[in-house]
Structure formats: structure tokens, C-alpha cells
Amino acid sequence: METTYQKIADQIQRMIPEKWSSVYLYAEKWADYDTVYFYYFPENDNKARLHYEITEQFQVNSTEFDQLEDDLSDTVLQLYEKQMSQEEEPWTSMTFILKSTGKFRIEYGYQDLSLLGPVEKRRLWKEKHSIN
């Protein structure tokens, strides 16, 4: 599992083209649904940026960025599968909090998320983690 956590951290670092202080990655997996996205805080800035904005704000190759995004999503889903193979209770959501120092923390959620819409889930998650 440590190797997979490190791979997620490395992939995130390759995606962000500026110095940053922290990253909050959200992943969700249940039934036939999955999603992965992250917000990051640029260094010396308290306004979070959604990773989708990177190609709009920086001179990055969108095709290469899309591949990095797919790789990150695949790695997160591999983490889910590894945990399932170890007969752990399957999570429905995961928050991966990464600091620029390399320290990270993971929070798993096990609640039924099918009753909330994506906008409401994102709003609640951002509120919980003080992401503006």
C-alpha cells in the first residue's frame, strides 16, 4: 500500500506546474461509478485551485495532462482493488491530503453516496476540509 500511496503523491506532483503547499484529492468508487479530482493550494496563497484549471492557467500540453489525469485515476482505483483483495471493507470515498513536505494523510468514507448529487457531495467535502 505504501508504494501505491507514494505513486499517487508522485503523480500529483507531476501534474502541478507551480509550487504548492497542500493538495486535497477526492476519490469516489461505488457500483458502476467512480471519480477522482483534486484541489491544491499554491504556495503563499489561501485560494484553492481545482486541478481541471491547470491546462487553462498554465502552458501545459493538454494531451499529456489528460494522460497524467488518467494515470492518477487508474492508480487510485488500483488502491481500491488492492484493499478489496485484502478483504478490507470497500470504501466509497477517499480523501488523500498531501503536504509539500511529503507528509500525507488518508481518510476513508464508507457511507452510501448514491443519494447525494455530485454538486452536493463536492460542496460538503470542500466545507469539511475548508477548501474555498
Helix (H), strand (E) at residue 70: helix 62-85
Q: 35: buried, middle or exposed (CB in 10 Å: 19+, 13-18, 0-12)?
A: middle
- The model's pTM is 0.93
User: Can you give the pLDDT at residue 110?
Assistant: 92
User: Can you give the pLDDT at residue 84?
Assistant: 81
Please state which architecture CATH assigns to domain 2-128.
2-Layer Sandwich (3.30)
What's the rounded Cα separation, in Å, for the pair 55 and 62?
6
pLDDT at residue 30 tops 90 = no
Helix/strand/coil (H/E/C) assignment for every residue in 90-110: CCCEEEEEEECCCCEEEEEEC
Q: What are the boundaries of each domain within the chain?
A: 2-128
User: Can you give the pLDDT at residue 1?
Assistant: 79
**What are the counts of helices (DSSP H) followed by strands (DSSP E) for the chain?**
4, 5
Cell numbers given for 124: 460538503
**How confident is the model over 47-62, as a mean pLDDT?**
94
pLDDT, tens only, 67-115? 999 999 999 999 998 888 887 788 999 999 999 999 999 999 998 888 8
